[in-house]
């Protein structure tokens, strides 16, 4: 006879993590990590923080980190929230700021975790179709809603919404919280953080996972005016009052300080993206314009699932989504030039 808790557990959706095999045997271009290591200054700072200080609980405010991040975007520390990766910041955002009697809006093709958070926190939502070129049109987000959230650039399309269109989204929704998820903004877009002083309804979310090569450290931020940040702090405190451990704080502060390394690796990824795009196009692929560290592409003559399978047999991982509208696309993360060449050579054999 089953116990009542077995039935309860059976109602919970199991977590299926992104594929994370042993990387040294693979060309891993499926989860948008940075192909370059973090700044050497990050490693030094983390090593320096692994001493007797670990005996002590971390600073519940992560004040040193908030100050470092705020200074970089011309805000003050009360306008910054930090969490364990932007996924945690997003979870708190859905819980604190997007729960509403009216449905929230996000694109029909977007980051797959948004509907998951809605399910978790009982948030009603309405997906808004992208246009025929898989773009977000702010005009489609007019009218009453419980909030708006979209990645910029969007994932998995890589398409960027220019800052004036983000502004239009905010002007159309003065009574809703508008969340701009800027996980990939450093690879080609202009951040909406500059609009924070002007719009009390704007929350911008960023991460160190992509452009700072620190997916394994788990550090994400939100920027907004103090009342929105206060909402996030209240929810965070109700779960657990330590946003980050000492090692994450030390590594993140060092990462934010090394602008030269950031700029070099960021430009390297952008240059590889342009080379990969040209290589794919020369083989007949159509590639959406990308402002991210991945490209979204399809081949008019070839089935995307078959291509992903053939690449996998050659130990190259890319992402294929079995979803309406995008099931013929592949999302390919930008690797080093050597990895991109390996991919292009494999595709030339397969086609």
Distance CA 94, CA 106 (A): 12
Candidate residues 151, 158, 251, 279; the one interacting with ligand PMP per rule CB under 6 A: 151
The 10 Å CB-count burial string (b at 16+, else e) for 201-216 is bbbbbbbbbbbbbbbe
The 10 Å CB-count burial string (b at 16+, else e) for 146-157 is bbbbbbbbbbbb
For residues 202-221, which are near ligand PMP according to CB under 6 A? 207, 209, 215, 220
End-to-end alpha carbon distance in the chain: 55
Nearest to 252 by CA among 82, 115, 133, 14: 82
Distance CA 222, CA 219 (A): 11
Least separation, in Å, of the C-beta of 263 and ligand PMP? 20
- Closest to ligand PMP by CB, 170 or 219: 219
For residues 22-41, which are near ligand PMP according to CB under 6 A? 32
* Binding of ligand PMP by 161 (CB under 6 A): no
Alpha-carbon torsion angle 150, 229, 88, 137, nearest 10: 0
Binding mask 109-128 for ligand PMP (x = CB under 6 A): --x-----------------
DSSP line for 20-48: ---GGGSEE-SS---SSPPPHHHHHHHHH
* Binding of ligand PMP by 181 (CB under 6 A): yes
- Name every residue whose Cβ is closer than 8 Å to that of residue 12 and which is 6 or more positions away in sequence: none
- Closest to ligand PMP by CB, 295 or 346: 295
Using the contact rule CB under 6 A, the part of the chain among 79-87, 99-107, 273-281, 316-324 near ligand PMP is 79-87
Q: Which two tokens stand for residue 158?
A: 């890589």
Candidate residues 70, 82, 160, 183; the one interacting with ligand PMP per rule CB under 6 A: 183
Using the contact rule CB under 6 A, the part of the chain among 84-92, 139-147, 328-336, 343-351 near ligand PMP is 84-92
Candidate residues 98, 148, 155, 232; the one interacting with ligand PMP per rule CB under 6 A: 155
- Closest to ligand PMP by CB, 111 or 299: 111
* Binding of ligand PMP by 86 (CB under 6 A): yes
Distance CA 180, CA 299 (A): 31
Could you tell me if 160 and 148 are in contact, meaning their C-beta atoms sit under 8 angstroms apart? no
- Closest to ligand PMP by CB, 85 or 224: 85
- Closest to ligand PMP by CB, 181 or 279: 181
Using the contact rule CB under 6 A, the part of the chain among 83-91, 239-247, 275-283, 306-314 near ligand PMP is 83-91
Distance CA 110, CA 112 (A): 6
Using CB under 6 A as the criterion, which residues of the chain lie in contact with ligand PMP when the complex forms?
32, 85-87, 111, 151, 155, 181, 183, 207, 209, 215, 220
């Amino acid at each position: 006879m089953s116990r009542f808790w077995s039935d309860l557990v059976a109602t919970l959706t199991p977590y299926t993590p992104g594929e994370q095999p042993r990387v040294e045997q693979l060309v891993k271009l499926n989860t948008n990590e940075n192909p370059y290591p973090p700044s050497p200054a990050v490693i030094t700072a983390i090593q320096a923080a692994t001493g007797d200080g670990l005996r002590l609980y971390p600073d519940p405010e992560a004040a040193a980190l908030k100050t470092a991040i705020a200074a970089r975007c011309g805000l003050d520390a009360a306008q910054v929230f930090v969490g364990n990766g932007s996924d945690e910041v997003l979870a708190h955002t859905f819980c604190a700021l997007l729960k509403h009697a009216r449905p929230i809006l996000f694109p029909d093709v977007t980051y797959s975790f948004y509907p998951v958070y809605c399910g978790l926190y009982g948030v009603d939502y309405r997906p808004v179709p992208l246009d025929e070129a898989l773009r977000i049109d702010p005009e489609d987000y007019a009218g009453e809603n419980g909030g708006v959230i979209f990645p910029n650039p969007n994932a998995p399309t890589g398409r960027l919404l220019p800052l004036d269109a983000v502004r239009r989204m905010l002007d159309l929704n003065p009574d809703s919280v508008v969340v701009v998820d800027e996980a990939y903004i450093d690879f080609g877009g202009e951040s909406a953080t500059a609009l924070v002083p002007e719009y009390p309804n704007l929350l911008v979310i960023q991460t160190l996972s992509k452009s700072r090569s620190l997916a394994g450290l788990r550090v994400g931020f939100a920027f907004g005016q103090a009342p929105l940040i206060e909402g996030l702090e209240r929810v965070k405190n109700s779960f657990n009052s330590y946003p980050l451990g000492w090692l994450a704080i030390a590594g993140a502060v060092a990462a934010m300080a090394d602008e030269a390394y950031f700029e070099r690796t960021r430009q390297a990824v952008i240059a590889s993206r342009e080379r990969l795009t040209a290589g794919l196009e020369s083989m007949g692929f159509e590639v959406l314009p990308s402002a991210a560290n991945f490209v979204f592409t399809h081949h008019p003559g070839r089935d995307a699932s078959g291509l992903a399978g053939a690449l996998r047999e050659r130990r190259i991982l890319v992402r294929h989504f079995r979803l309406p509208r995008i099931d013929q696309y592949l999302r390919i993360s930008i690797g080093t030039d050597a990895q991109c060449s390996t991919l292009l050579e494999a595709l030339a054999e397969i086609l």
